[in-house]
Chains A and B, each alone.
Chain A
Amino acid sequence: MLNRNFLNFSVKLLLKEKGDYLFSFIIFSFIIFIVTSVLFISESIKRDLLVSLANEGQIIVKNSKGGRYYPIDENYIDSILQVSGVDDVIGKVDGYYNFAQDRRFFKIAVDDDLNDTSMVVSSDVYDILKEFKYKKEFNFFVPNNEITLQIKEVIDSNILSNNTIFVNEDIAREILQMDEEDYSYVVILVPNEDEIENIALKIPKIFPDALVLPNYEIESDYDNLFYYKGGVFMILYIVVLISFFILLKNQISAVYGTKRKEIAILRSIGFSIKDIVLLKFIQNNIVAVGSYFFAIFFSYIYVFVLGAPFLKDIFLGEIESEIVFSPILDIKMLFLVFIFTVIPYLASILIPSWKLAVEDVSEVMK
C-alpha cells in the first residue's frame, strides 16, 4: 500500500493537526537538544584530555617529599632507564607563575620551538594581560630578576591550553626557578603495553617517594570525571527522562482520545490494520526523526560554534569561560540517544494505534 498517494495523504493528515504535532516536535527537540549538548561538551573535553594523554608516555612519575610535590632530578631518569622494558625516559618542565598584580596563577608550559625572547599565550591569558597594558610583551618577575618576553602568538584556549603561557625550556626553568638537573615530572615510554603495570610497580621500589601514574589510571580518572551515569549527569538525565515520559503520556492519551475516532473512520472506509499502523508510523517518524536531527544540528552549533553559553559555566565554572570546545561527532553516542528517545516515542504511538485498530469499529463509533 506504500505509494505516493498514501504518503501524500499521511502528510496532509499530519498538517491538518499541525498544532498537536508542533507541540510534540518542540518538546521532543528540546529534550534531545539538552541531552546531546551535555554529551557533546563532556565528550569534547574528554577527547581533548585523552589526546594529550596519548601524546605523553605510558607512565608519568612525579617526586614527592612529605606528601608535597618536589622536583625530580637527572638521577631518577638514569635509574629508571635501567629498568628492563623501558624504552626512554623524558624529563618535562612545567609549573605555575604567580601573577601577583591580578592574584592569579598562569600555567607555564614548554614549547621548544620558541626562542629566548618570545612566548605564546592562550587567549584568556592575553585578555588578562591586555587589562594590565601588556599588549606586546610581558615581564615575569622572579627573585632578583625580570624576564621580558614578546608575545609572539595568541592561541585559542581549549581545556588544555587554557590559562597557559608557552616558553622554551630554558626560560621556563628561569621563570619557575628550577635547576638544570631538575624536572617537574618525567614520562616513561613503554613500547609493550602489557608491561606498563609491571614497570609501574617497580619504580616505587627504587624510589619510595615517587608518585607513579600509569596512563590507564589517568584515563579512568578522566572517565570518572565525565562519567555520564553518575553525579550531576544523572540528575540531569532523570529530569529529562521525566519530562520525556510526560510527553509520551500526552501522546498516548491523545491517541486514546481524539485520534480514537479518526482510526475508526479510517478502518470503516476500508483501511487495513497494517495501513493504519503504517500511516501512524510515517506521521510520527516525520515528527520524531525530524526533531531528532533538528535538535542535533542545533546543539552542534550551540556547543561548537557558539561555545555553549550558560551550559559551559556549569561544566567549568566562570573563570575558564574562554575555553573553545574542539568539535567531535560521536556516532555511537548519537545512536544511543536515538535508541532511547526516538524508539520509545514511536512505540508510544504505534502500540495504542494498533490496539485501537484491531478493536471492533462499530464499538468505537458508538
Chain B
Amino acid sequence: MIFRAIFLSIVLMCGLNAKMFQSVDVSKGVFVQHGKDKMYCSNCAMSLSTYYKTNHIHKNHQYCSLHCLYDATKGNIPDDVKVVDTNSLKFIDAKKAYYVVGSDKMGTMTYNSKYAFKSFDDAKKFVKKNGGKISNFVEAYEITEEDFLQDLKLLQAKKEKKTYKLGKKLYTKKCEKVNVNSFETISLLKAKLKNVCKTRRDRELQYVAEYLWDVVKKNKVLEAFGKIEYTKHDKCPICGMFVYKYPKWVAMVEVNGKKIYFDGAKDMFKYVIKHKSKIDNKKVFVTDYFSGKKIDALFAHFVYGSNVYGPMGNEFIPFYSEKDANSFRKDHYGMAVYGFLQIIEDKEIMQDIKEL
C-alpha cells in the first residue's frame, strides 16, 4: 500500500508539468536565483520553469518574460541581459540573440510573443514554421514598450474578473493564514504559500499570491461594489413605477441620508438636474449593465441612443469600464458615450433623448 502511494505521488508530480510551448522540466532549465523563491519570477512570481523559454536574466534576477523585464527596468534598456535560447534551453547574451516577434506560439504575459534564438538559421526555421518577424533585443524591447499598456490592461481585466475572486476563494478554503505585510516581494510570498496551501497547482498558488499582494497588501479597490439594495415598495419619483420589477436598471440617489430609487438612469438624470443644488454627485449610483453591480455614477460611462431599451424607453446605459461602454456601443448601434457631468451640464443631451 505504501509503495503504491509513493508510486502514485511520483506519477502525479510528473503529471503536473504543463505542456505549454514555453514549459520545460525543472531539471532541464538553468535557474540562477537563490533562496526560497528561486523558482519564481522576481517581478510577478510566475513559475520560471512553466514559462522557461521566455526567461530573461538581469542583475542576478530571473524574469519570466520580456514584459516583466521591462516592468522591472522601468523602460531603460538594460545592458547585461541574458535570454534563453529556445532550442538549446541555455542562457545566451540577449544582445547577440535573434528574437522572433509575433509568431503563432503563445507569448508570456503578452499577446505578441517573443522567442530568442542563438543562431539566425534557427530563428529563420522557427519563422518558417510559426510565422513572426526576426529582430534584435533592442527592437524586441521597444515592441514590449509599445505593447506594455495594452498587455497590462488585458492582464488587469483577467485579474479583476477571475484571479482575485478565485484567489480569495482558494485562500479561505485551502490555505493557512499568512501575514502578507511581512513579505518583501510577491515571489517570497508565493514561496511561503507553497508550504501552507493545500494545492499542487502552480496556477492556483499564483491566484492566491496575486490576490493577497494586490488586494490585501496594496488595498486595491475591486470593481465589485455589490448590488443596489431596494425593497418592494420603492417607487421612482419621476414616473411612479416600482423599481423592483427592473433590477437591471435600478439607480439610486442619496439625499440627506434618504435613499431615492429610479427605474433607469434617464429618470435619475431628470431628478438630479432638477435638484442640482441639493445633491452630492458622489452619492449617485447606477447599475452596471453587464455585471448588474452598483457603481458610482460619477465615474460611469453612459451609452446613449442604442437599440437596447429600458423600462422607460430610450436610456442612458451605464458601464463601469470605458472599454465595455465602447464595445456595447458598437454592438448595439449606440450614438455616443457620455460621462455623468457631461449629461448634467449639457441640456441638449437630455433634449435629444426625449426626441429619439
Do these two chains interact? yes
| Partner-B contacts on A (CB < 8 A) | 74-75, 78, 81-89, 116-117, 145, 147-148, 170, 173-174, 179-181, 191-192, 194-195, 198
- Residues of B167-222 contacting chain A, CB below 8 A: 200-201, 203
Among B5, B12, B19, B292, the residue within 8 A (CB) of A191 is B292
- Residues of B148-164 contacting chain A, CB below 8 A: 154, 157-158, 161-162
- Whether B335 is near chain A, meaning CB under 8 Å from some CB there, is no
Distance between Cα atoms of A116 and B10 in the complex (Å) = 12
- Chain B residues near A145: list those with CB within 8 A: 11
- Chain B residues near A86: list those with CB within 8 A: 161
Do A170 and B11 contact each other (CB < 8 Å), given the known contacts A88-B161, A179-B18, A195-B290?
no
Q: Contact check, A84 vs B200: say whether CB atoms are below 8 A apart.
A: no
- Whether B8 is near chain A, meaning CB under 8 Å from some CB there, is yes
Among A117, A173, A181, the residue within 8 A (CB) of B8 is A117
Among A74, A81, A179, A198, the residue within 8 A (CB) of B161 is A81
**A236: shortest Cβ distance to chain B, in Å?**
41
In addition to A85-B324, A85-B328, 4 A-B residue pairs with Cβ atoms within 8 Å of each other are A84-B324, A116-B12, A148-B4, A180-B15
**A225: shortest Cβ distance to chain B, in Å?**
31
What residue of chain A has the Cβ atom nearest to residue B287's Cβ? Answer: A192
- Whether B106 is near chain A, meaning CB under 8 Å from some CB there, is yes
- Chain A residues near B16: list those with CB within 8 A: 170, 180
Q: Contact check, B8 vs A89: say whether CB atoms are below 8 A apart.
A: no
5 closest A-B pairs by CB: A84-B327, A179-B19, A180-B18, A84-B324, A85-B290
**A339: shortest Cβ distance to chain B, in Å?**
31
- Whether B323 is near chain A, meaning CB under 8 Å from some CB there, is yes
Q: Contact check, A87 vs B291: say whether CB atoms are below 8 A apart.
A: yes
What residue of chain B has the Cβ atom nearest to residue A149's Cβ? Answer: B8
Q: Contact check, B11 vs A147: say whether CB atoms are below 8 A apart.
A: yes
- Whether B355 is near chain A, meaning CB under 8 Å from some CB there, is no
Q: Contact check, B162 vs A89: say whether CB atoms are below 8 A apart.
A: yes
Do A191 and B158 contact each other (CB < 8 Å), given the known contacts A116-B12, A181-B18, A181-B20?
no
Distance between Cα atoms of A81 and B153 in the complex (Å) = 12
- Chain A residues near B203: list those with CB within 8 A: 180
What residue of chain B has the Cβ atom nearest to residue A113's Cβ? Answer: B173
- Chain A residues near B162: list those with CB within 8 A: 81, 88-89
| Band of interface residues on B | 20 to 34
What residue of chain A has the Cβ atom nearest to residue B20's Cβ? Answer: A181
**A112: shortest Cβ distance to chain B, in Å?**
9
**A72: shortest Cβ distance to chain B, in Å?**
14
Among A74, A181, A198, the residue within 8 A (CB) of B331 is A198
What residue of chain A has the Cβ atom nearest to residue B173's Cβ? Answer: A112
Q: Contact check, B158 vs A78: say whether CB atoms are below 8 A apart.
A: yes
Could you mark each residue 247-281 of chain B with 1 if its beta carbon is under 8 Å from any beta carbon of chain A, else 0?
01000000000000000000000000000000000
Among B11, B157, B324, the residue within 8 A (CB) of A174 is B11
Q: Contact check, A84 vs B11: say whether CB atoms are below 8 A apart.
A: no
Q: Contact check, A192 vs B248: say whether CB atoms are below 8 A apart.
A: yes
Could you mark each residue 116-154 of chain B with 1 if its beta carbon is under 8 Å from any beta carbon of chain A, else 0?
000000000000000000000000000000000000001
Do A148 and B290 contact each other (CB < 8 Å), given the known contacts A82-B154, A85-B324, A86-B161?
no
Among B158, B248, B327, B328, the residue within 8 A (CB) of A81 is B158
Distance between Cα atoms of A85 and B308 in the complex (Å) = 14
- Whether B165 is near chain A, meaning CB under 8 Å from some CB there, is yes
- Chain B residues near A117: list those with CB within 8 A: 5, 8
**B331: shortest Cβ distance to chain A, in Å?**
6
- Chain B residues near A192: list those with CB within 8 A: 248, 289-292
Q: Contact check, A84 vs B19: say whether CB atoms are below 8 A apart.
A: no
Distance between Cα atoms of A30 and B203 in the complex (Å) = 60
- Chain B residues near A83: list those with CB within 8 A: 327
- Chain A residues near B323: list those with CB within 8 A: 84
What residue of chain B has the Cβ atom nearest to residue A174's Cβ? Answer: B15
- Chain B residues near A88: list those with CB within 8 A: 161-162, 165
What residue of chain A has the Cβ atom nearest to residue B289's Cβ? Answer: A192
Distance between Cα atoms of A174 and B331 in the complex (Å) = 42
What residue of chain A has the Cβ atom nearest to residue B201's Cβ? Answer: A180
Distance between Cα atoms of A145 and B7 in the complex (Å) = 9
Could you mark each residue 289-318 of chain B with 1 if its beta carbon is under 8 Å from any beta carbon of chain A, else 0?
111100000000000000010000000000
Distance between Cα atoms of A170 and B15 in the complex (Å) = 9
- Chain B residues near A75: list those with CB within 8 A: 106
What residue of chain A has the Cβ atom nearest to residue B16's Cβ? Answer: A180
Distance between Cα atoms of A37 and B218 in the complex (Å) = 61
Distance between Cα atoms of A195 and B161 in the complex (Å) = 17
What residue of chain A has the Cβ atom nearest to residue B203's Cβ? Answer: A180
**B227: shortest Cβ distance to chain A, in Å?**
10
- Chain B residues near A173: list those with CB within 8 A: 15
Distance between Cα atoms of A148 and B8 in the complex (Å) = 8
What residue of chain A has the Cβ atom nearest to residue B19's Cβ? Answer: A179
